[in-house]
A and B are shown apart, each in its own frame.
Chain A
Amino acid sequence: MPRIRFTNLFAERIGGVNSVDVPAATVESALRALTDRHPSLMPLVWRDGALNPVMVLFLNDRQLASAEIGTPVGPGDELDIVSAVEGG
């Protein structure tokens, strides 16, 4: 199963968990599985049915364009979802 990793922004809503393994064949279905399991993450991941425009995806360290959400994933893949805005 691919693993989805995320930041504290996500983790603090689901009991401190920072990664979730989900059964999925594509990036999009992995994210759907994530939010099906943790509905509190819905507003962070999706906006009007599409990927939240403030979120950025990395698949095995490669940044994905939003159009690549259909990219296949498999066991051992790591998908990171991170916010494009952060203070500092």
Chain B
Amino acid sequence: MRTSFNGSRSEPGAVAYARATVDLASRDVRIEDVPCRNLEDVLGGFGRSFQILAERTITHAFTPENPLIVNTGVLTASNVTTGLRTYFSAYSPLKVSNKGLPAAMWSAGSCKFGPKLKWTGLDEVILEGRADAPVYLVIRAGEQGPQISFEPAGDLLGLTCHEKIMWLKNRYADAHFAAIGPAGEHYEDCYMASVALSTENQLRSGDDKCRWAGRGGMGAIMGYKRVLAIVAQAPDKIAKLKPEIRDINKAVTSGPGSRKFREKDKGGLGGTWSNYEPLEKFHFVPQNNFRPAGDGKPELMFRDNVQPDFFVKAESCFRCGINCHKNVYEKNADGTRGAFLAKFDYEPVNLLSTNLGMHDPRKAAALIALVDRLGMDNISLGTTISYVMDYNERHPDAPILNGATFGDFDKARELVEGAGTGRFPEVGRGVKRLSESLGETGYAMHCKGLEFPAYQPDTNPGYPWAIAGGHMSMATYMAVALEGNTSLEYWATLITTRGLYFVRDDLLGLCKFAGVTGDHVVEALMQEAGIEVTTAELLAAVRRAFMRALWLERKQGYERSDYTLPSEVFDRPNPNLGVPPFVTREFFSELSDRVWAVFDPEIDEIATGVKA
């Protein structure tokens, strides 16, 4: 970014970001400094990309006019801990309105690709059109500024995400990589394809340890554009660490905000995998397609129960001291570390084991690793497979696909392979389309086309207002466990205030789960970018970005009827949950009235601004 402050350090127009617009068909590349229009532009991420998407009229995700925007946040590549985010934004093939129009979507991933991209001299790359043959892009830091070249990608076709990355690593020194897998190459049949980002650990160890921009099918958009990978090659440009930032980093990595993600012997709770224990106290751990049985089986996947048979090592993204990656390895007979199996986070472990009726960590690891190799979103895939199994249990005389039912590992693996290679498009296109085609939508666990993460919809009436995934863009998914409050007033306030500010770090380039405080963000913006904003201004920008996303949904045909929950939440309350059922149709209708009463005027204001 380039700044030209003249007195005030809070004027967006004095900030320009470096954008490359790449026409994949003509291979024209335009690099320019773009002045910021508002604070959202300055902060970056979806705050900027959604303004670009708002300028387009897109009726189908797989069309040349649908751009794939690869950008960073203002604190990506800064010295602030977790400042490692890259964002992929486009109109999604997966998230669609009931009218069939694709919705704007972003997905974020960490590790060193984002910093490397920024160190080439670019803040943002917009991929326009579609290449006439498979290519990969090489973005370099040249002497005269960033350079972009096209390379034939025939040798990459069919390789897994990890294989593509290692192939590129052997040809490009001092670089990091974004790549799609076979799922992205089969984009027409797999809308949930994701984008893999290389990690330092992966390049050093040779283990399949990518990070992911997983949600919303951004890998499918990349596949449609026939861009199999992006190389960001630049020397590291790490600025001298300022004492103010050193203090912030110390507070982040040793403070309460990151305790959940740190190891127990580092004063932490052991990562998201350890969500099993507190959630199971209330029988909130999804089982058999989000239908907890209260039978204690989720305990089989508790970390303390799994760990004795494996070697678990906490590892990290580039320069991050939190070590949130809980990587599971074989344990050798002498107790030493064996072969790498998979990274265990709560979401994939639950959705690819417990929620499929399986309680075996080895099988969970096998499925997680397979999903990663093929390059899919484990949330969307796991939740779609649990629907298939549920359907087949309900229709034993007329099962679909391979007849998979809960607990059948071999058939689950077959569905994963089939989704990622185009053989089972019914799965790869997600649970909304599958359930609609079968005429049984009541237990299809999604909102607005995006499958639920591993939190019960019966405990989260805030899901419909999440703008980019239920546990990434609306902080209501664990509220009942946290506070036990099921009143209308509480929920309306939560959704319209605290819940939506959860997307703050999706502009900034930080990891939202590290818990960087508001004061630290304001200080970091000043120290690292020379930008002076107040907490109130920052939150106002976040709120505008959120409202712009809701306006974009409206633009794509979303109506009030799209903002609902699967009907079985209302019609078939689960007596096993640790709270009395409270999400009735009456409750939800009243909640919707209250939420829209707050949001509608703000969305209208955004719409007025766009038209002006």
CA distance A61 to B472 in the complex (A): 29
Q: Kindly state whether residue B442 has any CB partner on chain A within 8 Å.
A: no
Q: Whole-angstrom distance from the CB of A63 to the nearest CB of chain B?
A: 7
Q: Kindly state whether residue B290 has any CB partner on chain A within 8 Å.
A: no
Q: Kindly state whether residue B517 has any CB partner on chain A within 8 Å.
A: yes
What are 27 sample pairs from A and B whose C-beta atoms fall under 8 A apart? A5-B255, A7-B256, A7-B257, A9-B482, A13-B498, A16-B535, A18-B519, A52-B483, A53-B281, A54-B278, A54-B281, A54-B481, A54-B482, A56-B259, A56-B269, A58-B259, A63-B267, A80-B259, A84-B275, A85-B275, A85-B481, A86-B272, A86-B478, A87-B472, A87-B513, A88-B261, A88-B346
CA distance A27 to B79 in the complex (A): 35
CA distance A70 to B275 in the complex (A): 26
A87–B256 CB distance below 8 A:
no
Select one of B255, B277, B455 contacting A84, CB under 8 A: B277
CA distance A16 to B517 in the complex (A): 8
CA distance A52 to B324 in the complex (A): 25
Per the 8 Å Cβ criterion, residues 61-82 of A in contact with B are 61-63, 80-82
A84–B260 CB distance below 8 A:
yes
Q: Whole-angstrom distance from the CB of B84 to the nearest CB of chain A?
A: 14
Q: Kindly state whether residue B319 has any CB partner on chain A within 8 Å.
A: no
Given contacts A7-B256, A9-B482, A80-B256, contact A86 B518 (CB under 8 A): no
Which chain B residues border A8 with CB–CB below 8 Å? 257, 515, 517-518
Q: Whole-angstrom distance from the CB of A31 to the nearest CB of chain B?
A: 14
Per the 8 Å Cβ criterion, residues 474-492 of B in contact with A are 477-478, 481-485
A-B pairs, 10 with minimum CB distance? A88-B272, A84-B278, A80-B256, A87-B471, A86-B260, A43-B483, A61-B267, A82-B259, A85-B478, A16-B518
The chain A residue sitting closest to B472, CB to CB, is A87
Q: Kindly state whether residue B129 has any CB partner on chain A within 8 Å.
A: no
Q: Kindly state whether residue B264 has any CB partner on chain A within 8 Å.
A: yes
B256–A82 CB distance below 8 A:
yes
Given contacts A16-B519, A88-B261, contact A58 B275 (CB under 8 A): no
CA distance A58 to B481 in the complex (A): 20
Which chain A residues border B279 with CB–CB below 8 Å? 85
Binding site for B on A (CB under 8 A): 5-9, 11-13, 16, 18, 43-44, 47, 52-54, 56, 58, 61-63, 80-88
CA distance A11 to B519 in the complex (A): 11
Q: Whole-angstrom distance from the CB of B452 to the nearest CB of chain A?
A: 12
Binding site for A on B (CB under 8 A): 255-257, 259-261, 264, 267, 269, 271-272, 274-275, 277-279, 281, 324, 345-347, 453, 455, 471-472, 477-478, 481-485, 498, 501, 513, 515, 517-519, 535
CA distance A44 to B346 in the complex (A): 22
CA distance A8 to B256 in the complex (A): 9
Which chain A residues border B261 with CB–CB below 8 Å? 86, 88
Select one of A58, A62, A83, A88 contacting B324, CB under 8 A: A88
Which chain A residues border B478 with CB–CB below 8 Å? 83, 85-87
Select one of A13, A18, A88 contacting B517, CB under 8 A: A18
Which chain B residues border A86 with CB–CB below 8 Å? 260-261, 272, 275, 478, 513
Which chain B residues border A53 with CB–CB below 8 Å? 278, 281
Which chain A residues border B519 with CB–CB below 8 Å? 16, 18
CA distance A85 to B453 in the complex (A): 14
Which chain B residues border A7 with CB–CB below 8 Å? 256-257, 515
CA distance A5 to B453 in the complex (A): 29
Q: Whole-angstrom distance from the CB of A8 to the nearest CB of chain B?
A: 5
Q: Whole-angstrom distance from the CB of B413 to the nearest CB of chain A?
A: 25
The chain B residue sitting closest to A16, CB to CB, is B518
Which chain A residues border B260 with CB–CB below 8 Å? 82-86
CA distance A12 to B453 in the complex (A): 24
If A12-B498, A12-B501 are given as contacts, then 19 extra A-B residue pairs at C-beta distance below 8 Å, sorted by A number, are A7-B256, A7-B515, A8-B518, A12-B518, A44-B482, A52-B483, A54-B278, A58-B267, A61-B267, A80-B256, A82-B269, A83-B260, A84-B269, A84-B278, A85-B275, A85-B279, A86-B513, A87-B455, A88-B324
